[in-house]
Structure 1
Amino acid sequence: MTSTLYLFSSAAPPVFDVAQVIEDAQRRGWDVRLGLTPTAARWLEPQRAELERLTEGPVRSEYKMPGEPDVWPKADAILVAPATFNTINSWALGLTSTFVVGVAAEGIGKGIPIVTMPCVNSAYAQHRRLDKSVEELRDMGVNVLYGEAGFVPNQPGERRPYPWATALDAISTRT
């Protein structure tokens, strides 16, 4: 039986690599469902049909209407990456105004294994809320790949390869 991975991505440059990440996760045995923050959904709108073909299901960025059936299978694991400053802080504070943050927050309470990897630049990393939010998520059982074992902040405007393989390895060992 294939396990279902919810891949939730925020609007940061690594989101443009998500098709390759889906394919890599599928090679690792995951049935991937893709959820995006509203801005990430706008960025990837030209690729939406291809992403839905890859995942064999709808790409979601909004909550379903009450009473509508859930179109995704139950998650066996959740990977939130890239997770922006906004996503990390909203999630840690329980501000569930977006689908991605809401489902990730609920996943903690359901005991679903969750890994997240931030994608923030060094200017955002100086804001003390980030460290508090990372610690809060870790205290709730989320594996946060931040620092030497995951994502290391880069300078504003600098783009380095995002360690997607590290995130996929971590979610595989969590389940």
Structure 2
Amino acid sequence: MTEPQRSKPFLYVVVCGAGVAGDVGKLLTAAQERSWEVGVVATPQGLPFLDTHAVEAQTGFPIRSAWRSPSDARSFPPADAIAVAPATFNTVNKWAAGFADNLALGILCEAAGMGIPTAALPYVNTALAAHPAYRRSLAELREMGVSLGSYEPHRPKAGGGADRFHWEEAIQLLEPHMRNQDA
């Protein structure tokens, strides 16, 4: 079966479990304002942070969080780009190490091999950011071609920084890649 023709690029937004995840609508709006269609893939830990009804109403697609059965239809078209926001310590490290133990990580691990432009907006505290595995993982993701956001880690136990988390940066990081695909 062939994929239906689409006039708009399709963005997968991978959402991880962090306090700012409930504001993902800001990223969805930024993408839609640039004429992108959007579908949300939540990690199992990210799903409880989302207002499922609001996200699905905004995107027109169900949130995906679990593997589909072979007999189930695909709920999204193929990704033209992927934004991971917020990208947590756990997801960054597992992704860089090649773990695909949930749907979101499976999609991310395949993305580099499929040439799908990917941007990640890490959201961690300073204690986690200081961990050597995290620094190595960020370097590995850069080597894989992932564009990383500029968010500065917040203090531990502060749950802070939501006001400094710039959702639109994911779109800014991906737009040059999308222009290249149009050429």
Normalized against structure 2, the TM-score is what? 0.88
What residue in structure 1 maps to residue 82 of structure 2?
Answer: 78
- RMSD (CA atoms): 1.2
Please list every run of 5 or more consecutive structure 2 residues that lacks an aligned counterpart in the other structure: 1-6, 179-183
What residue in structure 2 maps to residue 163 of structure 1?
Answer: 166
User: Deviating runs (4+, > 6 A) in structure 1?
Assistant: none
**Aligned partner of 1:169: which letter?**
Q
Q: Would you say 1:65 and 2:65 are equivalent positions? A: no
**Aligned partner of 1:91: which letter?**
W
Q: CA deviation at 1:158?
A: 4.5
Q: CA deviation at 1:74?
A: 0.9
Distance of 2:133 and 2:112 partners within structure 1: 20
> Percent same amino acid among aligned pairs?
35
Q: CA deviation at 1:67?
A: 3.5
Q: CA deviation at 1:40?
A: 1.3
Q: CA deviation at 1:84?
A: 0.2
Aligned length, in residue pairs: 169
What residue in structure 1 maps to residue 3 of structure 2?
Answer: none
Please list every run of 5 or more consecutive structure 1 residues that lacks an aligned counterpart in the other structure: none
The one of 79, 101, 104 aligned to 2:108 = 104
Alignment of 1:1-175 (within 5 A): 1-44=7-50, 47-145=51-149, 150-156=150-156, 157-160=158-161, 161=163, 162-175=165-178
CA deviations 1:134-169 (Å, max 9, x no partner) are 111111111122xxxx11111111512201122221
Distance of 1:133 and 1:61 partners within structure 2: 23
